[in-house]
A and B are shown apart, each in its own frame.
Chain A
C-alpha cells in the first residue's frame, strides 16, 4: 500500500519541486518537454461486469473510457487484457490478488453496470491496491441516464485518479473552443463545446461572423466570447443550455474583447478599445455597471482574476513590450511580474492560485509557460512556431492551448501539456481548433 501510493506521489511532487527552479533564475530558461522522468503506474481495468441483460457493450465501453482517461494523464500505464491471468466476472467476488501481482498490476479497478427498465443505468466500481492486497477507499456507485454514460465513466476515472494521487481529477469536464475550417485567408470560425476528451461535440454558433476566445463561467453554465456579429468586435455572453446570447458591452465607437468571469460569476473583466487605446474594465453582469480599472495610454488586455477574486493579472505594453502585471481587482497601481527576455501575454491564474500560465514570444518562437505569482520560477513547457492562449484543467495540473503550424497551409489545433512539461499531446477535435477554455469539474 505504502509503496503503491508513493510511486505516484513522486510524480506529483515533481510538479511543484522541479529541480531546475534554482537554475532558472540565472541561467538560460530551460524547456522541459516530456522528459519521461516518471515511471507510469501500471494498472488493470477488466471489462466492467454487466449485471443486467443488454448492458455488456456499455460495461466494456465504460471500462475503455476509464482507461483512456487514466492512461491519458501519462501518470498511469494500462496492462493489456492479453496479459491477464484471470479477470473479474463477479463484482462481489473476492479478488485473486496473486493473479494481478503476477502481471505487476499495482492497481486494479473493477466495476459493474446495470440498466433498469426506465433506461437509467447504475455504474459501481472499486479500486484495489494489489500489492497491499486491499481495497483503496470504499466502493462507489453513480446513477444516471444511458445517454450520460461517458460522464459516469469520467466520474469513475476522476475518483480513481483522486484516490491514487490525492488530487482532484479533471475528466468530467468540458472544453469550449473556436472550431476552425477553411484556408488561412478565408478562415471560418464558430464556437464549439465538447467533453474534455473530444466526445459529444456541439456547435454553439454558426460561422457567419468571426468569434474569438470563449471563456467558461465558474460553474460552466455560461460562456463569454468576442464576436463580430455587429461588424465590430464585442463581448457576448451565451447561455450554454439554451444557446441564447446577448451582447454585453455595446458602447458606440468602441470595441470590446478579452472577457473573463470573476470567480463568483457576477462580474466580467474585459478590454475596451477607444480610438487607439485599449484599457481594462470590470462590469457587473447583472446591472451592466462598468468600472474602468486601468487608464494608461498603452495596451492593457487579457485580464484574469485570482481564484479568490481579489487580484487581476493582465498584460500591458506600458514598458515598451508586452509584459505581465498584477493589480487589485478594483484597479489601481499594478506590479510587473515578468522580467525575462521576450514578450509575455495572455496570463491565466491557476485554479490552485499558485501559478500563472502565459504565452511567451522569444527569438521568433512561441512558448506556453508558467511562473509563480511573484514572477519567480519561470518555466517554459512548450516551444513551437506559434503556441498561445493557455487554459487550466480544473485541478491546475494540465494546461490546454492553441498550436498553429506555419506556412500557407498552416492550421490551428488544440494541445495539452502537464504543468511539469510532460505529456504534450494533441486534443482530439473535429477539424481545426483554437482558443480553448476548460470548464470546472461538472457537478
Chain B
C-alpha cells in the first residue's frame, strides 16, 4: 500500500513540473480571474507544486532526515526539516503519517531494527513537540532491510541512515 502510494505521487510530480508558476499561490486569489477556480491556473491540485499535496511535502518540505553512525539524535539540519514537516502537518490536517526508521548495513539485523525504531521515534517526538497530534503519527522500523543506496561505502550508508515521513490519507487523486 505504501509502495503504490509513493509511486502515484511520483507520477503526479512529473506531470505537473511544467505547470508550476507560483508555488506560494494557494489562497492568493488576487489577479487570477474569478478566484473560485483559484489554484487551477497555477498548478495541478495534488501535484508537487500544490503546497497541500503529499508530493509537495516530499519534494519541497523534505520527507527525510539523516543520522550519524549508530545514533538516533537529530542533527540541526534534521530539526530544520522536521520543523517544516510539523508546520505542514499542522496546516494539512487531513493527512496522517507513517515514520519509517532505517539503518545502514553495518550492524546486526535485530539491533538495526531496534535502532531504526529509535530513529523513527526521535522524529515522532520532535513532530509532537512542535504541535502535531500524536494520533496522526505511526512508527515502523525497517532496520537494514530497505536501503535506498546500495554501495558499501559511507556515501551510501549516510543516505540509508534515515527516517522518512510518509504522508497518507486525505486527498488521494
Contacts and interface: CB of A to CB of B under 8 A. Distances in A.
Chain A complexes with chain B = yes
B118 A299 contact: yes
B145 A213 contact: no
Contact of B107 (A212, A233, A271, A361): A361
Contacts of B114: 271, 273, 278, 299, 301
A84 interface: no
B141 A273 contact: yes
Interface in B1-52: 1-2
Contacts of B147: 184-185
Nearest to A408: B150
Contacts of B120: 276
Interface residues of A, number: 41
Contacts of A315: 110-111
Nearest to B140: A232
A241 interface: no
B115 interface: yes
A286 interface: no
A187 interface: yes
Contact of A345 (B1, B111, B118, B124): B111
B139 A404 contact: no
Nearest to A253: B138
Interface stretch (A58-66, A158-166, A384-392, A423-431): A384-392
B108 interface: yes
B121 interface: yes
Interface in A254-281: 255, 257-258, 271, 273, 275-276, 278
A346 B142 CA distance: 18
Given A273-B114, A385-B152, A346 B140 contact: no
Given A232-B140, A301-B114, A213 B152 contact: no
Contacts of A329: none
Nearest to A345: B108
A273 B109 contact: no
Interface in B80-118: 105-111, 113-115, 117-118
Interface in A294-322: 299, 301-302, 315, 317, 322
9 contacts: A210-B145, A233-B140, A258-B113, A271-B114, A299-B114, A302-B110, A315-B110, A345-B110, A407-B150
Given A185-B146, A185-B149, A276-B121, 8 more contacts: A275-B121, A276-B72, A278-B114, A299-B111, A299-B118, A301-B113, A315-B111, A388-B109
